[in-house]
Amino acid sequence: MAQPTFGGRRPDRSWREQDLLDLPEDGNRYELIDGSLHVTPPAGPDHHELADDIRMALRQAAPDGWRVIREIGVRVPGGNLIPDVTVLKPGAPRDRMWAQPTDVALVVEVESPNSRRHDRFTKPALYAEAAIPAYWRVERGDFGPVVYRYELAKGLHYDLLGTFGPDDPVEVTEPWPMRLDPSTWPR
């Protein structure tokens, strides 16, 4: 895929948040990491369906004031990322295109072949650096979705809390106590 252009050409400096506004709305996901533009092709219907079901499960269990949003931008040190699902704390501004990390309680990334490395390595490091308290990574296993739950440790990195899948309905505490059952999510 060709590098997107800025006003008909690539910028002669690092990419900035403002530059994202000039990119086409073509279904690609445009994210900034340390001044570099990262482009991810549109995910398939199965990816979106799984992310929607996770979002709905979180929304149905959400206490008053909490918001669960699909594909809202989140500012992180040195960039801007777009998680598949973001849980915003009560009182988070509603009119922002990019959420501040202090307003975010949980980010969820649903892996796809085009996002695997970023979802496993790059994004967790940036979310941890931004001090986002919880991160979930969701893989499609042979028997259905598997959720890897992480919590921020020492404000530096994520520690694995555990995993659960379609045979493991589980009680979680982040971002609030709730029961999740991945057997109801698409395989």
Tell me whether residue 143 is in a domain.
yes
* 73-124 per-position pLDDT tens digit: 999 998 999 999 999 999 999 999 899 999 999 999 999 888 888 999 999 9
Say how far apart CA 46 and CA 187 lie, in whole Å.
Answer: 8
Tell me whether residue 34 is in a domain.
no
Tell me whether residue 164 is in a domain.
yes
CB atoms within 10 A of CB 76: 24
Model pLDDT, residue 2: 47
Closest by CA position to 163, among listed 176, 144, 187, 177: 144
Q: Which domain holds residue 85?
A: 43-184
Tell me whether residue 30 is in a domain.
no
Report the CATH number that the domain containing residue 108 is assigned in CATH.
Answer: 3.90.1570.10
Q: How many domains does the chain have?
A: 1
